[in-house]
Structure 1
Amino acid sequence: MAELAIIGLAAKIAAGKDHMSSIISSRRGFFQISFADHLKISLIASEEMSWEEAFITKPQWVRERLQQVGTEEMRDLPGMEDFWVNALESWIQIFHHRHRITKFVIGDVRFINEVEWIHENEGVVIRLDSDRESTEELTPEQTTHRSEVSLDSYNFHHRVLNNEADAEESEIAVIELVDMYLRSGAHDGQIF
């Protein structure tokens, strides 16, 4: 998939991943996609939650169910660690071949195998560090779930502080990284 441009965003809950994905999409023409899209659509199709609950309001019980199904009920099964990576790769191939989409931003990078897959496909992952991480409505189990902490000690090559006070500066910093990536390409997740 070397002909594609892939940018991943990694961060904690409520750190601005969706917002930054939207910024990259609107300013640089990237198609927004997520590892969790396939899971969310499956749960909507089985009538466990509504589209609005899965993609917009994201109430506490929805986040909890997504963590449970996505990790404990799927990724933890023997041989299934890459299930969500494989699903996303298939969707990217569909969008590329059907619609000629070549630029993708993945707004929910949460595990090392996801980072590695992006790097293997000559993409880059940006870590958003934030002082606005709101965990008021989340349980301690949700904020310490593996999907929230598995990348805490990962050494990201590209980090942006995404905080309330300097939101515009954060957006500029991310767009500058995107532009560097588009101009120069990436190798092993590093922008030259």
Structure 2
Amino acid sequence: RGNNGGRLLIRKSKLSPCSSVSSVMCRDCINELLPDRGRMCLEEGTYFLNVKGCAKCGEKSTKVANRKVKEGEDEDGLYTEEVEYTHTCASCGHEIATHFYSFEADGKTQEYSMDCVLCGKGESTSILYSPTSTDTKAADTKKTEDKKDTGPAADIQKKGEMLTSQILELRKHLPESDEGDDDDWED
């Protein structure tokens, strides 16, 4: 980090993979620099509670400028999306902060990250449902039987079957109850 008057030079971290160029942000426009946002990762928008006001004109409204989106998928099925844009003053165009967002999905997990001096830093990982081999075989058999089914009713049925499968998988991980211990029930 380097200081240049009211502007702060910040070298991007692992959370901001959009480019390797450093970005200049205005610390005089922001209440708290790089607040920790936990699992919050925003692809667009502004954390208005953190806007102090434009250091040049005093205006508190912002707009998004220079929005760039990069999407891709590699040969292993890893899907990536990177978004970069600049928060600017809506009145005079003064640059307040550069916002970085990234998303990766590989079929098993989804990873989100955000890095912005104004909006903060955040990371989140979601583990997606992974069917067991018996669930997969049953689903493959069902797919061949139901190839003729299309439309909204078929979609609802498929979603119901997926939820049932997920519930059965979760129940496998619950502790077993003693069936003889139901003394609370009257026969």
Which of the five TM-score ranges fits, normalised by the shorter chain?
under 0.3
- Please give the TM-score of this superposition, normalised by the length of structure 1: 0.22
> Which of these two proteins has the greater Rg computed from alpha carbons?
2
Instruction: Determine which structure has the larger helix proportion and give its number.
Output: 1
Instruction: Determine which structure has the larger strand proportion and give its number.
Output: 2
Q: Which has the higher contact order (CA 8 A, sep 6+)?
A: 1
- Please give the TM-score of this superposition, normalised by the length of structure 2: 0.22
